[in-house]
């Protein structure tokens, strides 16, 4: 049975392989040594912390081998599309989502092409395939050298999942995860790691927007505040800060996430019901449509437009709902049709008025 221990430096839960005497944290790179006399609980209850860690002096010095765009632009984006080709988990629209999101960022929000890193299975560069290792390194890259005034975007389209949380820092008792293309052999990327990698380091004056198109993605960035909105547009911010008191916010910066389901239990749709042309993620498509159709002035307007697009998909299927022309040539062919049941929603590091706060990337 795998043993769950906490990193002795950042306290991130780590799964200790059977028989191992130490483990290196993927987030802070501290080495946690296991004291055989300590009472680690193999049933994943509260753990005792081992002796002080040994920390490598420069945990990200190997990032130079990760061939990416320049990491010092004012605008920077990481876009990941995972289709799990030739497997029983295959999705049809995720690479389309990635291409459309890149097109939107470049043409609508003036992101330099050189500041956008894409990981998809179509990439010939082995460092740009959406493996667990590459996704982790890309997340580090996204916040590397981040300064006040920087605008960061993280877009993910692919499978998401859940796993039991044993540290008490999840309201629903589950950690949310992203599924790399090699997740069956290398494992999942857990929300705790995502939070520690791209949320906590954000300095004051910097902002991060995430658009997550996957199942169980309501709180995949582990942001502490959750916007609960009803079908009439009324909303309330729910406090999802862990009872343990662990801080899940930023270092003064701003982090806001649009996710594919308003709750962690909701699933996302890989569908042709929206574009009528090819498979897309419903979350990604509705976000792009909201921006392109002029509903991008505030977060509330974007959210309501996204929800309207998804709710009306079935009734508009025969009515010719189409992509704006500028995006048609970005799409490929293929696809399955599924019923759309998710409700896009917001999470953030701090509550705000969604109808007055301007949206900008």
From the list 11, 29, 159, 295, the catalytic residue is 159
Query: What is the distance between the terminal CA atoms of the chain, rounded to a whole angstrom?
Result: 45
3-state secondary structure of 290: helix
> Choosing from 28, 215, 227, 262, which is the catalytic residue?
215
Dist CA 307 CA 337 (whole Å):
18
159 is catalytic: yes
b/e code 154-191 from CB counts within 10 Å (16+ = b): bbbbbbbbbeebbbebbbeebbbbbbbbbbeeeebbbb
What distance in Å separates the CA atoms of residue 131 and residue 22, rounded to the nearest whole number?
24
**Local structure of 23: helix, strand or coil:** strand
User: Cβ distance 236 to 181 under 8 Å?
Assistant: no
Please spell the DSSP secondary structure of 300-355, one letter per residue: HHHHHHHHHHHHTHHHHTTTT----HHHHTT--------------EEEESS---TT
**What angle do the packed helices 94-107 and 282-292 form, to 10 degrees?**
20
Q: Please give the Cα distance from 280 to 3 (Å, whole number).
A: 39
Under 8 Å between Cβ of 276 and 264: no
| H helices present in the chain, as ranges | 94-107, 132-143, 183-186, 191-194, 282-292, 299-311, 313-316, 325-328
Residue 215 appears among annotated catalytic residues: yes
Q: Which residue in this structure is represented by tokens 């130079």?
A: 64
Query: Which positions are catalytic?
Result: 159, 215
């Amino acid at each position: 049975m795998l043993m769950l221990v906490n990193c002795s430096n950042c306290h991130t839960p780590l799964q200790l392989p059977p028989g191992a005497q130490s483990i290196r944290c993927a987030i802070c790179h501290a080495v946690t040594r296991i004291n055989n006399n300590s009472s680690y609980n193999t049933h994943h209850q509260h753990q005792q912390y081992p002796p002080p860690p040994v920390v490598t002096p420069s945990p990200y010095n190997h990032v130079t081998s990760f061939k990416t765009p320049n990491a010092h632009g004012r605008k920077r984006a990481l876009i990941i599309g995972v289709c799990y080709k030739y497997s029983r988990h295959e999705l049809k629209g995720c690479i389309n989502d990635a291409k459309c999101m890149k097109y939107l960022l470049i043409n609508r929000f003036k992101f330099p092409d050189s500041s956008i890193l894409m990981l998809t299975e179509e990439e010939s560069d082995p460092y740009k395939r959406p493996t667990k290792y590459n996704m982790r390194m890309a997340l580090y890259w996204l916040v590397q050298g981040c300064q006040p005034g920087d605008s960061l975007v993280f877009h993910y389209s692919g499978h998401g999942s859940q796993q039991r949380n044993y540290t008490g820092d999840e309201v629903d008792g589950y950690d949310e995860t992203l599924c790399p293309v090699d997740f069956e052999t290398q494992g999942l990327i857990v929300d705790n790691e995502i939070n520690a990698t791209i949320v906590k380091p954000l300095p004051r004056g910097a902002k991060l927007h995430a658009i997550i198109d996957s199942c169980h993605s309501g709180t995949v960035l582990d942001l502490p505040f959750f916007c609960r909105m009803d079908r009439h547009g009324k909303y309330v911010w729910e406090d999802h800060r862990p009872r343990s008191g662990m801080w899940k916010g930023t270092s003064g910066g701003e982090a806001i996430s649009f996710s594919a389901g308003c709750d962690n239990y909701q699933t996302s749709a890989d569908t042709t019901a929206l574009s009528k042309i090819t498979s897309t993620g419903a979350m990604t498509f509705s976000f792009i449509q909201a921006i392109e159709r002029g509903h991008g002035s505030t977060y509330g307007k974007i959210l309501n437009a996204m929800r309207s697009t998804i709710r009306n998909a079935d009734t508009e299927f025969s009515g010719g709902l189409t992509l704006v022309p500028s995006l048609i040539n970005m799409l490929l062919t293929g696809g399955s049709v599924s019923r759309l049941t998710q409700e896009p929603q917001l999470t953030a590091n701090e509550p705000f008025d969604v109808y007055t706060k301007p949206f900008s990337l």
